[in-house]
Chains A and B, each alone.
Chain A
Amino acid sequence: MNTILPILPEVVLLVLGVAILSLDPFLKEEHRRPVLGWTTAAGLLLTFVASLLFARPGEPVLVYGGMLRFDWLGFAFQLFFLIAAAISALFFMDVDHLNRRAETYLLLLAATLGMCLMASAADLIMVYLAIEMTSIPLFLLAGFLKDDEKSTESGFKYMLFGALTSTVMLYGFSLVYGFTGTTSLYELNLHFSSFDLLTIGVVFLVLAGLAFKVSLFPFHFWAPDVYEGAPTPVAGFLSTASKAAGFAVILRLFLAAFSLQEISANLGLILAVLATLTMTVGNLIALTQKNIKRLLAYSSIAHAGYAMIGVVTFSQLGAASTVFYLLAYILTNLAAFGIVAAAGKVTGSDDLDSYRGLSRRNSTLALAMLVAFLSLAGMPPFGGFVAKVFVFAAAVENGYVWLAVVGVLNSIVGLYYYLTVLKYVYLYRMPGEDEDKHPLPVTRPYILGLVLLVVGIIVVGVIFAPWFSLADGAALALF
């Protein structure tokens, strides 16, 4: 039993995937959407519960020949991914052409599986495999709507960019192996003892692939186009779980391999600069967006920057704050994209103009949007506020006060455009001012998903102690 436990979630996911695939031919057309969707969601929930109950790690231990490390970091992230996937499954249920195909859900599950592996990967090869295993289903999901030009373009772009960067990363890995003779993450720090040209080179090469995954400057260019083109729930899943998975790898790789003071100090500075650029570019360009999906895309880029601040410090508090940030961010961003999906389905457009008078068309949906966007802005009593405070606190603690100030200034810019969106929702009116003739109904899966997310955002924002100790436990596993 012990040998299965570390990969219990992955195994259950696999079983679930097979089950879905097997179930598919036997379903009648009109049953496909509910059965597939709810089954996937329920299955993921079951996985979540099972992992929570049975697959809790003790002391960190390398398993499967050192391929995976069974510790709290991986565990925490896996829980995050499962939640994100479950809710995304719910959201998939209302996208035409996606919802009646079992392949959609299978791809979702496959990607989730890959992410779970990414979170616990302790060996460079495993890292690469897991990344690929995550990315390929996501490429497909992004481009799934083959009749939609934008979707196919998005999938294609995603794949090209992803392939390119992961190749570069692989080259970096090979260099590492060449110079150190090992691919195990936990043996690397013995070999990287000084910050020389080699280290820098390796870092940048590796960073290429990882930065792509988390959309860090300067590898963020793909994000707006991909998010805009992909089906909205897919964009939501991409922007949250996939990004978090990338961060899991970054945390583990950098904090394990480059833990030496001399390297980490300089590396921290480089990452800090990248984080600054990411935040700033993301926020500034978001100011100009008129398409809400692109706006959210740039906003996600900026959030990657904020999350990076915690990594920069190379400290336990920093790592914990990043993990916590990602939790809050997943809940928030998923909610934001979910709302966009629900609204977009009825209005048929993703322009900001189509959100005029939303508060009169469906005031509850508007409230959910309020919660999500204010959490993105970092306002209490929502998770985004606490997350930002912790990240800034970590920065201040470790002498990166300037970075905290940059983060703060960026938050202000962010606040501006988030409030602007809310202005459309609450202040502006539809051209004919006849909102009551244009109600905006939301289907049951969306209601369930959004309710769970909104509650989650508020809970994480108000009663944050248990979540932070989870994050802290995860961070502890890195040191």
Chain B
Amino acid sequence: MHFPILSVIVFTPITASLLIFLYKPEQKKAVRITALAAAAFALTLSTIVYALYRRDVGGYQFLEEYRWMPFLGISLKFGVDGMSAPLVLLTGVVMLTGVMISWGVDDRPREFFGFLFILASGVFGVFASLDLFMLFFFYEIAVFPMYLLISIWGWIKTREYAAMKLTLYLFIGSVIALVGALAMYWQSGMHTFDMLQLEHANFSPGFQRLWFPFVFLGFAVLGGLFPFHNWSPDGHVAAPTAVSMFHAGVLMKLGAFAALRVGIMLLPEGARDWHWWVMGLALVNIVYGAFIASVQTDFKYVIGFSSVSHMGLVMMGFATLTREGLLGAGVQMFSHGIMTALFFAAVGMVYDRAHTRDIPKLGGMVKPLPVVAVGMIIGSLVSMGMPGFSGFVAEFPIFLGIWKTQWLVAVIAAISIVVTASYVLLVVRRVFFGTMPAELEGHIRPTGRLDTIALVLLCALMVGLGLVPSLMVPWVQTGVQHVLTLLGGAG
């Protein structure tokens, strides 16, 4: 009996969500425990999928197909390949750590976890989906809970504005991509939304050149590609901690991944035609994001813009259309996801206690929050691309890919490394070391057990991947191989 593990992973969160909504609003503890159990379960299954994926065979595995609407060729089809398996794992990790960090949410936790899990199901669904219609279905499911989560539990000053901006931006992006996808559906003549079949659709070069921007850019909005990144910093900052973790850690990867899956893999000729443009935009992301981050005075905005910069590296890796670039981008999605989840968790913990994120008003946090400080240090090192950590394992191949394509871009992009190092070290030093301002003395309670576990887990992943790249690289390599085949030979 073939156990439908991917369906279970995808639908566990939303089932848990339904269960949670059945609880009475006062049953807060029951809500939290259900959430934690569901997250742990999903993570366990994701790890199993990751571990059991056969790298030697490659391709799409754990396939499941349920005919949903044969008339239009829509089926509920799941499967993972080397690129998506790490992302499924990432989602599981971020989901679990997000729940742990959100244990203290006291304002309507029922609705909070309910909406968060709808989001989680949407995310899992996109990563696992091999049917274009269903991919959109899950993609949209991942958008609207963000609005509610940010506007209700977010930072009072900007939450309404940021939530609306984020939702509208993402919605626009996704529907633009949807139009492109519908065009692909009709043009292929295959009357199916099955992506495996659409990979062989052989669209005409003219068609691909026309529709690639729609599809790629539509999804790249969620990936934070310049100039469509504007929703991201505000969205990050306004969101409550777990939502920021999801947002930067997973959601932005959703956009990049869908851009790869639907844009590059289904319209490879179009990708070849446009990839210089994407490289240019990604370069702006990388450099501009780093510079803007360095002038921020709000701790969370620093991280928000740094995410824009790092996602630029992912997009750049994709745009090089080379083996190394794609490999690096695949690893960077995971590495950055973990790193940024950790950053936002740390920021959230500091803010919860200090009630300010203004860097000049913070300091000396290392004494009451040593684990957070160490986590932030490790995160910073990953962010700088310091060897020995996952960031280097990801960034180095991306640069190799850039060198293969256009050496000048590599040189310019390298500037961001130093800029990143400077601001990230400064911020960590200012917030965590030095003297604590008098107003904060005695108000900083230590981290709880769950917080510590979450932080340790995230750190372990970043260090582990950095020291032993073979924990993830072989998986991504098989995925990259497939993409290269679609692009027409080794890049």
Contacts and interface: CB of A to CB of B under 8 A. Distances in A.
Given A359-B108, A392-B182, A408-B176, A469 B151 contact: no
Contacts of B141: 379-381
Contacts of A469: 71
B183 A411 contact: no
A465 B175 CA distance: 22
Given A379-B143, A381-B137, A404-B179, A427 B68 contact: no
A110 B48 CA distance: 61
Contacts of A422: 147-148
B108 A397 contact: no
B160 A423 contact: yes
B167 A408 contact: no
B71 A465 contact: yes
Contact of B136 (A389, A412, A468): A389
Interface in A283-314: none
Interface centre among B25, B69, B111 (most CB of A within 10 A): B69
Interface centre among B69, B111, B175, B183 (most CB of A within 10 A): B175
A416 B143 CA distance: 13
A5 interface: no
Interface string B139-153: 011011001100110
Interface residues of B, number: 39
A367 interface: yes
A454 B72 CA distance: 26
Contact of B168 (A370, A381, A389, A416): A416
A52 interface: no
Interface in A421-463: 422-423, 426-427, 463
A8 B276 CA distance: 66
Contact of B160 (A392, A427, A464): A427
B171 interface: yes
A396 B179 contact: yes
Contacts of B136: 389
B110 interface: yes
Interface residues of A, number: 36
Contacts of B111: 359, 363, 426
Given A415-B167, A415-B168, A422-B148, A396 B140 contact: no
Contact of A411 (B163, B175, B182): B175
Contact of A415 (B108, B110, B171): B171
A380 to B, nearest CB: 5
Contacts of A258: none
Contacts of A385: 137, 140
Contacts of A426: 111, 148, 151-152
B143 A405 contact: no
A412 B178 contact: no
B151 A423 contact: yes
A405 B214 CA distance: 12
B48 to A, nearest CB: 26
Contacts of A472: 71
B21 interface: yes
Interface string A355-376: 0000110010001001000100
Contacts of A377: 144
A401 interface: yes
Interface in A385-400: 385, 389, 392-393, 396-397
A380 B108 CA distance: 23
A363 B111 CA distance: 9
Contact of B140 (A380, A397, A404, A423): A380
A404 B182 contact: yes
A468 B68 CA distance: 11
B176 to A, nearest CB: 7
A412 B137 CA distance: 16
A190 interface: no
Given A427-B160, A465-B69, A380 B179 contact: no
B133 interface: yes
A140 to B, nearest CB: 40
Given A385-B137, A392-B178, A397 B186 contact: yes
Nearest to B107: A360
B151 A392 contact: no
Interface centre among B140, B141, B160, B168 (most CB of A within 10 A): B140
A377 B71 CA distance: 25
Contacts of A19: none
B206 interface: no
Nearest to A436: B25
A18 interface: no
Contact of A379 (B140, B163, B186): B140
Contacts of A411: 171, 175
B227 interface: no
A408 B179 contact: yes
B164 interface: yes
Interface of B: 21, 25, 68-72, 74, 108, 110-111, 133, 136-138, 140-141, 143-144, 147-148, 151-152, 159-160, 163-164, 167-168, 171-172, 175-176, 178-179, 182-183, 185-186
5 contacts: A374-B144, A385-B137, A412-B175, A416-B164, A422-B147
